[in-house]
Amino acid sequence: MNCQNCKTITEEGYSLCEACELRFAVTLLRLARDITPLHDSLDATLHPGGHSPVRIQTATPPTPIRLDVLDLIDMLDATARELWRCLDGIDALDWRKDKRNEDLKATLIACAGHPKLATFPDAGLYMHVINNLARKVDLALDPPEQRREIGTCELCETMLTAGAADQWVTCPVCGREQRAQTVKLRRLKTLCWDDSERGSAADISKAFAVSGLKVSRKTITTWEQRGKLPRHADGYAYCDVYRLLIGPDLTKSVR
Ligand SMILES: [Zn+2]
Ligand SMILES: [Zn+2]
């Protein structure tokens, strides 16, 4: 027989090879360990992930719990119980016969240590489903860091960082609250209204992207090749690129 997960040859009667059985059990135990932090992160007001700590008054009251986390716990609960019944050979349609009342954590641990984990017929399928859930749990608990530098504080000049969706930023040094968009535009203005600010095509493309202006490195070098954009010894001037990008009419109205 072949392992249903990695396709290597396994002993007769085994759905998973030894290595995959171990991986499956470890994933189940990791999920059991994640249950408490998952419950903790249900509270949307406590969760710091990816958002500015400043509270904004919204038109409708915000949902007090994270529905994505609630759905994830529900899905994990249903899957773990189904897996346990499968391991014990209780038909999925006969779930009413299952009188066990363990909590989700105990259920996951029971599955991880179950003697039939590598031999029950659907082991590969459940391993796949559980792996997907584990990935989602990781994302819910550790949202990817997407904060980047957007410009300096208007009071103390500290470099501020914000996530893409943040509307407000609070300066970590002086505590001043400011609109993220204002900080970005001020940075762009400083770069573009000072004729001595120079950078490579990549620098300029990156700085403009932060402020929501799209111009690729390629476009900048093409402008130079076509004689539209002068190249100085220390690079291109931000203001030249900005003028080409926005056009003369818009530059007037922004100014
Ligand atoms: Zn395997
Ligand atoms: Zn500050």
Instruction: Report residue 110's pLDDT band, with 50, 70 and 90 as the boundaries.
Output: very high
DSSP 94: G
Query: Where does residue 117 rank: exposed (0-12), middle (13-18), buried (19+ CB within 10 A)?
Result: buried
Instruction: Report residue 251's pLDDT band, with 50, 70 and 90 as the boundaries.
Output: very low
Look at residue 138 in the predicted model and tell me its pLDDT. Answer: 83
Ligand 1 midpoint to CA 1 (Å): 11
pLDDT exceeds 60 at position 81: yes
Ligand 2 midpoint to CA 154 (Å): 7
Tokens of 7: 């396709």
pLDDT exceeds 60 at position 47: no
Ligand 1 midpoint to CA 15 (Å): 8
Ligand 1 midpoint to CA 55 (Å): 48
Q: Which ligand is nearest to the CA of 171?
A: 2
Determine how many CB atoms are found less than 10 A away from the CB of residue 193: 12
Ligand 2 midpoint to CA 152 (Å): 8
Ligand 1 midpoint to CA 28 (Å): 16
Q: Give the whole-angstrom CA distance, residue 235 versus residue 18.
A: 59
Q: Give the whole-angstrom CA distance, residue 43 versus residue 49.
A: 12
Place of tokens 């903790």: 40
Ligand 2 midpoint to CA 200 (Å): 29
Q: What are phi and psi of 232, to 5 degrees?
A: -90, 170
Instruction: List pLDDT tens digits, range 126-161.
Output: 999 999 999 888 878 876 566 778 888 988 888 888
Tokens of 183: 């900080």
Those residues whose beta carbon sits under 5 angstroms from the ion ligand 2 are: 153, 155-156, 158, 171, 173-174, 176
pLDDT exceeds 50 at position 215: yes
Instruction: List pLDDT tens digits, range 10-23.
Output: 989 999 999 999 99
Q: Which ligand is nearest to the CA of 158?
A: 2
pTM: 0.53
Q: Which ligand is nearest to the CA of 8?
A: 1
Look at residue 1 in the predicted model and tell me its pLDDT. Answer: 85
Ligand 1 midpoint to CA 98 (Å): 30
Ligand 1 midpoint to CA 72 (Å): 27
Ligand 2 midpoint to CA 160 (Å): 8
Residue 246, C-beta contacts closer than 8 angstroms, at least 6 positions apart: 254
Look at residue 49 in the predicted model and tell me its pLDDT. Answer: 44
Tokens of 34: 């994640």
Report the percent of the chain where pLDDT is more than 90. 44
